[in-house]
Amino acid sequence: MKIISARDYGHMSRQTANIISAQVILKPDCVLGLATGSSPIGTYRQLIDWYRKGDIDFSQVRTVNLDEYVGLDASNDQSYNYFMCHNLFDHINIDPDNTNVPCGVNPDAEGECARYDAVIRSMGGIDLQLLGLGPNGHIGFNEPDDCFSRHTHKVALTEATIQANKRFFEREEDVPRFAYTMGIGDIMNARRVVMVVSGSGKASIVKEAFFGPITPRVPASILQLHRDFTLVADEAALSQI
Ligand code: F6R
């Protein structure tokens, strides 16, 4: 595990964008695993800026997102599909056919999860997976549990996640209770994993996840065993280690 200590959110975002940019330059048709949430927005803004300056070309890049709320379609402004278009895809020269997000409105959960795993397999796996860290240690929507999950599956969101994510919705009742998420096995199979974390609110979970025991009760702790895991965090998030 490598830890890159950044001064603040802006610095963390630029450092992470540099790593992703290097990946795309070295392998123009790479597969990027992408995340939503507040943490990677600055990284996406920096990548858009470099694209506009002509420094990075996404024309051959393929992407696969971590997760999607069950019940929300791509036109819903709270869906992760919408988030990705709004915060990245609409601003760069990526081919929309090369982008993948689980389909939240497929009622056939088993079929949708099997389809998504087949997409990841057909791409030859993920070259670089970007992650955020949930306040309860979740990655993707892999919530604390008794065991680690292997593949894409439907998950019931925990109360902690509903509370953390309600800030994006008008009313707490609007927060979906289920999501489709890549499994821990899918994430661990990525050839490189980069996590962005910022703010003092994440300091205790950073300590627990990366300096505590490896346990499915803190899903991110499994990343301690990944061969190429980099944590890019600001000083506030690293303040307890
Ligand atoms: C998002 C995702 C989640 C978030 C996590 C942190 O696709 O999978 O695991 O990365 O909830 O969210 P923020 O960055 O909003 O604190």
pLDDT of amino acid 168: 87
Q: What distance in Å separates the CA atoms of residue 194 and residue 222, rounded to the nearest whole number?
A: 14
Distance 140 CA to ligand 1 centre (A): 7
Contact by Cβ (8 Å): 84, 65: yes
> Which positions are catalytic?
67, 136, 138, 143
**Taken in order 217, 218, 221, 223, is the CA torsion positive or negative?**
positive
* 133 CA distance to ligand 1 middle (Å): 6
Task: Please enumerate in sequence order all residues whose Cβ is within 8 A of that of 101, keeping only pairs 6 or more positions apart, or say none.
Answer: 65, 68, 74, 80, 81, 84
- Which DSSP state fits 12? H
**Tokens read off for 205:** 């979970």
Q: Is 132 in the pocket of ligand 1 (CB under 6 A)?
A: yes
CA atoms within 13 A of residue 47's CA, in its CB half-sphere: 27
Alpha carbon 97 to its chain centroid, in Å, reads 20
Q: Report yes or no: 117 and 110 within 8 Å, Cβ to Cβ.
A: no
pTM value is 0.97
Q: How confident is the model at residue 74 (pLDDT cuts 50, 70, 90)?
A: very high
pLDDT in tens, 155-210: 999 998 899 889 889 899 989 999 999 999 999 999 999 999 999 999 999 999 99
Binned at pLDDT 50, 70 and 90, residue 106 comes out as very high
Q: Whose CA is nearest to atom 1 of ligand 1?
A: 36
Burial of 191 (0-12, 13-18, 19+ CB in 10 A): middle
Q: How confident is the model at residue 147 (pLDDT cuts 50, 70, 90)?
A: very high
Residue 11, Cβ density class (10 Å: 0-12 exposed, 13-18 middle, ≥19 buried)? middle
Percent of the chain with pLDDT over 70: 100
